[in-house]
Amino acid sequence: MKRVILSTCCALLAACSTTPPPPAHDLLIVNATIVDGTGAAPRSGSIAVKDGRVTAVGAVEGTATRTIDARNRVVSPGFIDMHSHSDMPLVTDGRAHSKIRQGVTTEIIGESGSIAPRKEASETQPWTDFAGYFGVLEKQGISVNLLSYIGLGQVRELVVGNDFVKPTAEQMTGMKALVEAAMTQGARGVSTGLIYPPNAYQSLDELVELSAVAAARGGLYASHLRYDGQKLREGIEEAIAVGERAKMPVHVFHVKVTGQQNFGRMKEVIEIVEAARARGVRVTADQYPYVASSTSLTATIPQWAEEGGSDALVARLKDPATRRRIRRDMEDPNPTWENRYQSAGTWQNVQLAAIGRNRTGDPSPNRKYEGMRIAEAAKQAGKEPFDFVFDLLIEERGSVQCIYFIMSEDDLKLALQQPWVAIGSDGSALSIEGPLRAGVPHPRNFGTFPRVLGRYVREEKVIPLEEAIRKMTSLPAATLGLGDRGTIETGRWADLVIFDPAIVGDRATFEDPFQYPVGIDTVIVNGTVVLDEGTHTGEKPGKVLGPKS
């Protein structure tokens, strides 16, 4: 009997000795050229991932559930899009196709007219505050990580409305309460879009008072400047003044100089920012790598004509005398507001991108003009361009998006060389098919990050690869206070991008924007492979990043 027991034990021990140990890692990336996001030179090595985080970098030992051979490819931290408009697209489709395929693993939304707060919920937007919005995304899942600002334009519209008036003391108290609530629910700071009413109606004092609420909770002030053309100095100085007075960091959305008469003035913007940084103001910015911007056609309309909202604008455009006054103001070469018509100089420099897309019911017959320059569309319609524009705004109740060719390559490149300028698309997470394929939008929705890597790093050598990656990763992470993202280090979240530096680039154009980039084949979010050799896996491991993320 003892021999039988002994033989059985020996057999069990032998079986145990041949059973392999469990894999040490969930994911192992080998033979990689690692660009770690710090700005340091590339180095060779491996990266191990376990439970969503990086566990080893360099010479890594042990087995893994999955091993990816990154030979001849670069591995970098996931890109952080400092300026995104994916607020509603992520509700429509949480897979974030056009961002994931660019290597974006984290987006920050909420410029001026943020997704929350709202007066009441609706079928398509079943929330009234950020807690509700974030809850919807967490329930359905998203492929990217997400942060949001609270837009001060949204705050003012809820409390004061669309009138150009000074808020009462009671209204200021109400607005500050909304900012406070949003910050406690996870907003990263406050944002403005000061060319857009009613945000445009806010004074410096009002902006400072509201921003100070966010500052008390460690938030930053992010702004689409009031001016970026003839009065660009006033625009950048106003943003810096908010930061200085409210005692908080300042971030400038899509830093640029607009209007041919202002080309070359990026040097002036840099001087102003450098002076502020020298006296202790934390000022950063982002930019997209295109010489065209995109916004509403109403950005050509004087702001007084928009007071009261779309109904009031339509009524004014229908009145012949007021219509003539609006045109005179638009043609004034010294406008009091940032006039996108003056920036463009001619209607040939304005392209129709999306018409009547906010409508319910039958699609607009004017969509046939999408993708056309306004000068050409007006000729086809048999109208003088200004009349075409005014009639279009009436018919679509202001719902017309455009692309404006208003910047210079030299200014763009100079901004890109500044160490405090990050990359931000100012675009949305769209798709080449389904409900998120609509109109003829700006190619930045599909090509921003690979365009920097392909055109401005590899082809034109404006900045080196490691600096471009830093601008997409650790610089935005530091700006946003994301202490455990933005670099490839042990203990950080495993947001990673694998790309081929020899071919990475954008394919989207102004004529045909619905094209994914090339050269970015694998994207990992929180340790989960979302883009696998060019195929979206459908995984949604993204997180809503709260105040302490």
Q: Indicate if 99 and 155 belong to the same structural domain.
A: no
Task: Give me the torsion for CA of 171, 173, 176, 182, rounded to 10°.
Answer: -90
CA distance 457 to 454: 6
- The answer, yes or no, to whether residue 338 has pLDDT greater than 60, is yes
User: 246: which 2 tokens?
Assistant: 């409210």
The total number of structural domains that make up the chain: 3
CATH number at residue 125: 2.30.40.10
Provide the whole-model pTM: 0.95
pLDDT of residue 8: 45
What order of strands is seen across the sheet that includes strand 350-355?
Answer: 292-296, 400-405, 350-355
Tens digit of pLDDT for each residue in 355-388? 988 766 678 999 999 999 999 999 999 999 999 9
Q: Indicate if 51 and 9 belong to the same structural domain.
A: yes
The kind and range of the H/E element at 520 are: strand 520-525
CATH number at residue 197: 3.20.20.140
Q: Indicate if 144 and 17 belong to the same structural domain.
A: yes
Total Cβ atoms within 10 A of residue 166 = 12
pLDDT, average across residues 298-308: 96
Which of 299, 286, 170, 175 is closest to 227 using CA atoms? 299
Q: Which residue range(s) make up the domain with 178?
A: 149-252+255-291+407-423
Give the 3-state secondary structure of residue 536.
Answer: strand
Tens digit of pLDDT for each residue in 249-293? 999 999 999 999 999 999 999 999 999 999 999 999 999 999 999
pLDDT, average across residues 322-343: 97
Cβ(449)–Cβ(425) under 8 Å? yes
Tens digit of pLDDT for each residue in 458-471? 999 999 999 999 99
Tens digit of pLDDT for each residue in 120-146? 999 999 999 999 999 999 999 999 999
Dihedral over Cα of 536, 539, 544, 549: its sign: negative
pLDDT of residue 325: 98
pLDDT of residue 4: 41
% pLDDT > 90, the chain: 94
Tens digit of pLDDT for each residue in 77-101? 999 999 999 999 999 999 999 999 9
Helix axes 385-395, 320-331, angle to 10 degrees: 120
Q: Indicate if 498 and 396 belong to the same structural domain.
A: no
pLDDT band at residue 503, thresholds of 50, 70 and 90? very high
**CB-based contacts of 83: which residues, under 8 Å, 6+ apart?**
108, 111, 253, 254, 286, 288, 424, 425, 426
Classify residue 365 by its DSSP letter: G
Q: Indicate if 232 and 307 belong to the same structural domain.
A: no
Q: Indicate if 286 and 161 belong to the same structural domain.
A: yes
Q: Indicate if 274 and 416 belong to the same structural domain.
A: yes
User: 56: which 2 tokens?
Assistant: 């080893």
Tens digit of pLDDT for each residue in 451-499? 999 999 999 999 999 999 999 999 999 999 999 999 999 999 999 999 9
Which of 264, 230, 237 is closest to 337 using CA atoms? 230
Cβ(422)–Cβ(82) under 8 Å? yes
Helix axes 320-331, 310-318, angle to 10 degrees: 100
- The answer, yes or no, to whether residue 13 has pLDDT greater than 70, is no
What order of strands is seen across the sheet that includes strand 145-148?
Answer: 79-81, 104-109, 145-148
User: 232: which 2 tokens?
Assistant: 């660009």
CA distance 397 to 377: 18
Which of 130, 83, 127 is closest to 108 using CA atoms? 83
Q: Indicate if 281 and 400 belong to the same structural domain.
A: no
% pLDDT > 70, the chain: 95
Q: Indicate if 283 and 322 belong to the same structural domain.
A: no
- The answer, yes or no, to whether residue 58 has pLDDT greater than 70, is yes
Average pLDDT value for the chain: 95
Total Cβ atoms within 10 A of residue 413 = 15
What's the burial of 256, exposed, middle or buried (CB within 10 Å: 0-12/13-18/19+)?
buried
pLDDT of residue 22: 78
Q: Indicate if 14 and 55 belong to the same structural domain.
A: yes
Q: Which ranges in 291-443 belong to alpha helices (H)?
A: 310-318, 320-331, 340-344, 374-381, 385-395, 409-416
Residues facing 191 on adjacent strands: 151, 222
What is the end-to-end Cα distance of the chain in Å, rounded?
Answer: 62
Q: Which residue has the higher pLDDT, 391 or 3?
A: 391
pLDDT of residue 361: 65
Tens digit of pLDDT for each residue in 225-237? 999 999 999 999 9
Q: Indicate if 376 and 461 belong to the same structural domain.
A: no
Q: Indicate if 129 and 7 belong to the same structural domain.
A: yes
pLDDT, average across residues 301-329: 97
- The answer, yes or no, to whether residue 539 has pLDDT greater than 70, is yes
pLDDT band at residue 215, thresholds of 50, 70 and 90? very high
Number of helices (H), then strands (E), belonging to the chain: the values are: 18, 21
Tens digit of pLDDT for each residue in 524-536? 999 999 999 999 9
pLDDT, average across residues 91-115: 98
The kind and range of the H/E element at 317 are: helix 310-318
pLDDT, average across residues 440-450: 98
Give the 3-state secondary structure of residue 351.
Answer: strand
